Amino acid sequence: MTRTALYRSYEGFVWYKEESKQSAASKEFWAVREGKFYADYVVLLLYATAEDFAAFILHFLEIENEFKNWLEENSTQKILEKKKRISSMQAQVGVFMKKNYETHKITQSILSLRDNEFWKKAMNYRNTWVHEKPPIIEGLGYEFNRKARLEIGEDYRSFPLGLSSPPYLKVEELIEIANKATEICAKVASELLEVLIEKRTAELGETIDFENDQISSNLF
C-alpha cells in the first residue's frame, strides 16, 4: 500500500507538470495537490507499519508481559517526575528494547529507523498532520496554521488580514521525504524478516525458497 501511494504521488506530480494541457498555473496547482495527497498517505502508512513492527517484535521475542510490566513502571515514574509520556507503541518498544536488549540484532535495526533523518521528518510531518492540521504545502493557495493571529505589543495590537501562514514544505521536499522514509522502512522490514527466517531455520529446519514460493522442513 505504501509503495502504491508513493508511485501515485510521483505519477500525479509528474503528469500534471509535464503532460497536462492545462494552463501553467493550473498545472502547477494540480501537480502540487496530487503529489501531496498521495505523499500524505505514504507517511500515514509508514507510521502504521512501524506500529506493526513493534507488535511483531513483542510477539516474536515473547516479551509481551515483560514489556507490559516495564511500561507500567515507566508510566508511574513519568507521572511522579511530571514528564511527558510516550504514546506510540513503536516509540515505547524502541525505548524498551534499547534499555533492555541493546545488543540484539532487532534493536539495532529499529534504532537505525528511529535515527534516520528522513524517518524523523516523516514522523514529525505525520504527528503535525494528526494532532494539529495537515502541514501547509507551498502552491495550494492561502492557508493558515493554528497559531494565534493576534499580535500584542507594548502599545499596540495587530491582527493581519489576507496574509497566509508560511508553508511547511514544498511538495518536492515532501515526496522526497516519503521516498527516503519508505526506503529505510523497507530495509528494516527486510532485516526483521531475516531474523525470522534464521529462527525458523534453526528451530524448524525450514528452507525458504522465495523465488518459487516454497517452504520445506526436515521435521516433516
pLDDT at 166 over 60: yes
**Confidence band (pLDDT; 50, 70, 90) for 162?**
low
Residue whose C-alpha cell is 508481559: 65
Range of the domain at 160: 2-217
Q: What local confidence, expressed as pLDDT, does residue 80 receive?
A: 43
What is the per-residue pLDDT for 11?
96
Give percent of the chain above pLDDT 90: 64
Q: Which range has the top average pLDDT, 38-47, 76-85, 147-156?
A: 38-47
Residues 6+ apart with CB under 8 A from 218: 205
Q: Which amino acid is at 119?
A: W
pTM summary value: 0.84
Percent of the chain whose pLDDT exceeds 70: 86
- CA of residue 113 relative to chain centroid, distance: 10
C-alpha cell at position 79 = 507521572
pLDDT for 209: 67
Domains in the chain, number: 1
Grid coordinates of 78: 513519568
CB burial class (10 A; 0-12, 13-18, 19+) of residue 140?
middle
CA distances from 105 to 70, 78, 99, 191 (A): 21, 28, 14, 9
- Asked whether the predicted pLDDT for residue 79 surpasses 50, the reply is no
Do residues 97 and 90 make contact, with C-beta atoms less than 8 angstroms apart?
Answer: no
pLDDT tens for each residue of 118-159: 999 999 999 999 999 999 999 988 888 777 767 787 777 776
**Mean local confidence (pLDDT), 161-172:** 84
Q: Are 177 and 125 in contact (CB under 8 A)?
A: yes
- Read off the pLDDT band of 213 (50, 70, 90): low
